[in-house]
């Protein structure tokens, strides 16, 4: 049996595009002699469709698309994912389903049993879990078809009370096929491989796993579809962050061979390389799928905006990036030069708009209210918000999308100005700690100096008052980021972090800042997710909670 894995980039709710792409790849696979073409979880509608799933018309359109796909499956079979109505009286209205299509008809329906409801996943909100498990017979083989999480219950502390494969194995399948929509995090590829390897070893069956690729707002899907033999040996790994169509032959003895040269690397790519590739894909898809082409950002000469500008130029083309220099009376000459040098290196568009007269006008207007009170954070934030007004005006006038340049360290402790530097359409590095931003800059410069070296080595500063440094308000970033990671990613308490050897006063202050800043994060743009625990849809905290604040 010749099986094709189609690792594709889908667009949520774009039924015409998704259906055409699926049909095109069915036809390509058919021309190459495939017997079966396998697509990703919920590929017909795109994943995650979220509350689109609450519209009956949306589900009807999925079914209409499935029937169009079925019509071309005359000499080839396919597996597609889509939401379907649950026609039982009990349970949720929908199932997360896979259709097995052969001879122009839906021959079998498999419904997902294990519905993740943690971090960025919210599937039990919409779907009823399946309790029925049956293999699919095709070309003299029995296929154990599962959907994403259905194979993720082999971990040491199972999240669910059942394993679909424990039921399916009694039907003596010849092969496992798993269709997935597994989001990217820089440590997720190794975890994914380990889980799937365990399944192939446990059930002594070959396993073909297909993941989707592409970004859906903040969620990035990295592809990396996998094939294992019946001993659990990884025999192929499709490219990450790009579409791919690959062919495999399942032999009668259970072995699998493939036609194309293997893309497997001898060692895993470094985290920072994965973050770089993931962010590029996130930027491209956010703009392409939203129907926009041009980005704008404020370029300060600092490391954060320099990295975002370089990433945007690489993702969208330098000609589609407008970098705006917005000097205030506190901006240093070297910062302006660093920004100008970056613009020259990238070849992007640029403009310079001084904000001194704007902030002075606002301060003059507020003089009766401020009544000679000393300069403080109010005047600092006026500068940041003046810049935001100018950038948003240019967005409105020319159709740009504003890129937010805040990093995860700043977002964590609230080191930013609401309606100022925290505004934007998409947050590019909001899931990248400051120490990782420096790594990212060095990675961008791996072949040549793109980001001026001075932007990398100078002490970080918001430059909103004379001689300001980030360390005036925050611990050194190499300490801060470690504490943040223990609290945010690892969910350690302050007591646990202090036991690790960190200064108690610093730990308690940092965690208090994180919790006090929750109201700010509720009002920030969507953040491209590259870590296992990003701010946004995967981390839900009360604003007015007292615990740890």
Residue 483 lies in a domain: no
Tell whether 94 and 225 lie within a shared domain: yes
Residue 504 lies in a domain: no
Tell whether 298 and 231 lie within a shared domain: no
Residue 370 lies in a domain: yes
What pLDDT, on a 0 to 100 scale, did the predictor assign at position 465? 61
220: β partners: 215
The model's pTM? 0.94
What pLDDT, on a 0 to 100 scale, did the predictor assign at position 459? 77
Residue 12 lies in a domain: yes
Would you say 210 and 7 are in contact if contact means Cβ atoms under 8 Å apart?
yes
Q: The dihedral of CA 220, 224, 229, 231: what is its sign?
A: negative
CATH, residue 69: 3.60.110.10
Domain boundary among 470, 502, 533: 470
Tell whether 391 and 440 lie within a shared domain: yes
Report the pLDDT averaged over residues 376-397: 94
What pLDDT, on a 0 to 100 scale, did the predictor assign at position 472? 74
What pLDDT, on a 0 to 100 scale, did the predictor assign at position 469? 75
Tell whether 199 and 80 lie within a shared domain: yes
Q: Could you count the other beta carbons within 10 Å of the beta carbon of residue 266?
A: 4
Tell whether 284 and 204 lie within a shared domain: no
Tell whether 256 and 296 lie within a shared domain: no
Tell whether 137 and 160 lie within a shared domain: yes
The helix (run of H) or strand (run of E) holding residue 506 is helix 504-516
Per 3-state DSSP, what percentage of the chain is helix, strand, and coil (rounded to 5)?
Answer: 40, 20, 40
Give the CA angle between residues 459, 461, 462 to the nearest 5°. Answer: 170
CATH, residue 327: 3.40.50.620
Tokens of 224: 């990396």
Residues contacting residue 13 through CB under 8 Å, at least 6 positions apart: 45, 46, 49, 52, 58
Tokens of 187: 């440590």
Residue 489 lies in a domain: no
What pLDDT, on a 0 to 100 scale, did the predictor assign at position 411? 96
Model confidence at 127: pLDDT above 90: yes
Burial class (CB within 10 angstroms; exposed 0-12, middle 13-18, buried 19+) of 379? middle
The percentage of the chain sitting over the pLDDT mark of 90, rounded to a whole number, equals: 85
Domain boundary among 204, 238, 261: 261
Quick: pLDDT tens for 134-193: 999 999 999 999 999 999 987 666 788 889 999 999 999 999 999 999 999 999 999 999
The helix (run of H) or strand (run of E) holding residue 176 is strand 175-180
Tell whether 285 and 397 lie within a shared domain: yes
Residue 532 lies in a domain: no
**How sure is the predictor about 319, in pLDDT bands with cuts at 50, 70 and 90?**
very high
Domain that holds residue 139: 2-261
Number of domains the chain is built from:
2
DSSP for residue 386: H
- 536 vs 125: CA distance, rounded Å: 18
Query: E strands within 182-325?
Result: 207-211, 213-216, 219-222, 226-228, 234-237, 244-250, 256-258, 295-298, 321-325
Would you name the residues annotated as active-site residues?
41, 112, 148
Which of 17-31, 230-244, 364-378 is least confident? 364-378
Tell whether 279 and 212 lie within a shared domain: no
Residue 391 lies in a domain: yes
The helix (run of H) or strand (run of E) holding residue 401 is strand 401-404
Shortest CA distance to 110 belongs to which of 69, 142, 65? 142
Residue 546 lies in a domain: no
Quick: pLDDT tens for 267-316: 788 999 999 999 999 999 999 999 999 999 999 989 999 999 999 999 99
Quick: pLDDT tens for 55-97: 999 999 999 999 999 999 999 999 999 999 998 889 999 999 9
Domain boundary among 261, 281, 313: 261
Tell whether 280 and 333 lie within a shared domain: yes
Tell whether 169 and 285 lie within a shared domain: no
**How sure is the predictor about 468, in pLDDT bands with cuts at 50, 70 and 90?**
low
Model confidence at 464: pLDDT above 70: no
**How sure is the predictor about 549, in pLDDT bands with cuts at 50, 70 and 90?**
low
Tell whether 53 and 88 lie within a shared domain: yes
Quick: pLDDT tens for 206-253: 999 999 999 999 999 999 999 999 999 999 999 999 999 999 999 988
On average, the pLDDT of the chain sits at 93
């Amino acid at each position: 049996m010749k099986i094709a894995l189609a690792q594709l980039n889908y667009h949520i709710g774009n039924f015409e595009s998704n259906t055409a792409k699926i049909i095109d790849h069915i036809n390509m696979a058919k021309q190459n002699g495939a017997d079966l073409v396998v697509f990703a979880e919920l590929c017909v509608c795109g994943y995650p469709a979220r509350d689109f799933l609450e519209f009956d018309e949306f589900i009807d359109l999925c079914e209409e698309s499935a029937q169009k796909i079925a019509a071309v499956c005359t000499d080839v079979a396919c597996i597609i994912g889509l939401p379907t109505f649950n026609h039982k009286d009990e349970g949720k209205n929908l199932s997360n389903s896979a259709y097995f299509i052969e001879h122009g008809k839906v021959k079998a329906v498999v419904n997902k049993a294990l519905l993740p409801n943690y971090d960025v996943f919210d599937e039990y909100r919409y779907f009823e879990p399946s309790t029925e498990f049956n293999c699919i017979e095709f070309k003299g083989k029995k296929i154990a078809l599962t959907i994403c999480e259905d194979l993720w219950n082999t971990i040491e502390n199972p999240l669910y009370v059942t394993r679909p494969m424990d039921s399916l194995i009694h039907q003596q399948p010849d092969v496992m096929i798993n269709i997935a929509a597994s989001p990217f995090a820089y440590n997720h590829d190794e975890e994914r491989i380990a889980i799937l390897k365990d399944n192939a070893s446990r059930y002594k069956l070959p396993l073909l796993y297909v993941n989707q690729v592409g970004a859906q707002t903040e969620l990035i899907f990295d592809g990396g579809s996998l094939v294992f033999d019946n001993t659990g040996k990884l025999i192929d790994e499709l490219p990450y962050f790009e579409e791919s169509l690959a062919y495999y032959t399942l032999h009668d003895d259970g072995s699998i061979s493939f036609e194309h040269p293997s893309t497997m690397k001898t060692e895993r790519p470094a985290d920072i390389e994965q973050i770089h590739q993931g962010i590029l894909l996130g930027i491209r898809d956010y703009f392409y799928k939203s129907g926009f082409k041009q980005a704008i950002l404020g370029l300060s000469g600092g490391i954060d905006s320099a990295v975002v500008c370089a990433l945007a130029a690489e993702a969208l083309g330098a000609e589609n990036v407008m970098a705006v220099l917005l000097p205030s009376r506190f901006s240093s000459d070297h910062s302006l030069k660093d920004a100008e040098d970056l613009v020259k290196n990238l070849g992007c568009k640029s403009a310079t708009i001084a904000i001194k007269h704007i902030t002075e006008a606002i301060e003059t207007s507020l003089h009766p209210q401020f009544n000679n009170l000393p300069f403080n954070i109010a005047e600092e934030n006026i500068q940041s918000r003046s810049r935001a007004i100018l950038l948003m005006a240019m967005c409105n006038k020319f159709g740009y999308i504003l890129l937010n340049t805040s990093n995860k360290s700043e977002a964590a402790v609230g080191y930013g100005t609401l309606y100022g530097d925290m505004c934007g359409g998409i947050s590019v590095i909001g899931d990248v700690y400051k120490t990782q931003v420096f790594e990212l800059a060095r990675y961008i410069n791996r072949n040549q100096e793109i980001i001026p070296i001075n932007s990398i080595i100078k002490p970080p500063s918001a430059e909103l008052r004379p001689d300001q440094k980030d360390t005036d308000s925050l611990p050194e970033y190499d300490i801060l980021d470690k504490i943040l990671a223990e609290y945010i990613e690892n969910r350690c308490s302050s007591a646990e972090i202090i036991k690790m050897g960190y200064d108690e006063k610093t730990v308690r202050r940092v965690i208090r800042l994180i919790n006090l800043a929750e109201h700010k994060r509720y009002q920030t743009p969507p953040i491209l997710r590259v870590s296992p625990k990003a701010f946004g849809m995967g981390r839900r905290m009360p604003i007015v909670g007292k615990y740890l604040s």
